[in-house]
Amino acid sequence: MRIDIWSDVVCPWCYLGKRRFERALAGFEDRAGVEVVHRSFQLDPTRPKGQTQNRRDMLMGKYNLTAAQVAAMDTRMEQTAAADGLAFHMGDGVTGNTFDAHRLLHLAAERGQQDTTLERFYRAYFAEGRSLFDDESLTALAVESGLDASEVRGVLAGDAYAAAVTADTREAHALGANGVPFFVFDHRFGVSGAQAVEVFAQVLARARESHVPSSR
């Protein structure tokens, strides 16, 4: 069974959804036969590459919120994450274009390091306040995840995997996903949002019951 997960590396609910899904998968008796593939999705592809903005300022402008409202929202997010074992420190970090981070995740997939790299990116951004928007930081984090430094620099210097990132996003929109996280179980069951562990467990069971093995 294959499970595709569309997410963005600056989406707190994506990190939370990943963790809840993993807990459900850990209790799934057929988990050894499950292939998980992480797919690219940019929440804001219009952001100029190489430019960053204070994350809280962005939220204030995007949703017409006050500084106090954004701070309260961040506190609630930190508390929600903590309940699922994640240490979020939202603070006054920056946000920016995530296209290059997604390109590196495609490289990581080819090297068998996709989940490790995605997890490192999430932890760096949400727990450590590190940037995912410049070559130096992305290279350091990718190398920490087990990727080769020269290969990472080569990807960032060119346009490798750009078409793959675009194709992922196009497919998500074709499936009706306008936000993330978005999960597709066995090419047939779509689940939006960071659902409860129990919901993911139910969908896993349903997908197993209706699974049709590939003829390939």
Q: Which residues of 52-84 are buried (b: 16+ CB within 10 A; e: fewer)?
A: beebbebbeeeeeeeeeebeeebeebbeebeee
Alpha carbon distance 134, 183 (integer Å): 28
What mean pLDDT is predicted for residues 101-121?
A: 98
**Confidence band for 216, pLDDT divided at 50, 70 and 90:** very low
What mean pLDDT is predicted for residues 12-41?
A: 97
Whether the pLDDT of residue 128 is over 90: the answer is yes
Whether the pLDDT of residue 57 is over 70: the answer is yes
CATH architecture of 2-210: 3-Layer(aba) Sandwich (3.40)
The pLDDT assigned to 210 comes to 86
The pLDDT assigned to 28 comes to 97
| pLDDT per residue as tens digits for the range 69-94 | 999 999 999 999 999 999 999 988 99
Q: Backbone phi, then psi, for 182, in 5-degree steps?
A: -135, 125
Alpha carbon distance 200, 188 (integer Å): 14
Question: For the chain, what is the mean pLDDT?
Answer: 95
**pTM assigned to the model:** 0.95
Whether the pLDDT of residue 215 is over 60: the answer is no
Number of alpha carbons in the 13 Å side-chain half-sphere of residue 38: 27
Contact 14, 8 (CB under 8 A): yes
Using CA atoms, how far residue 78 sits from 12, 129, 201, in Å, is 9, 13, 24
**Confidence band for 212, pLDDT divided at 50, 70 and 90:** low
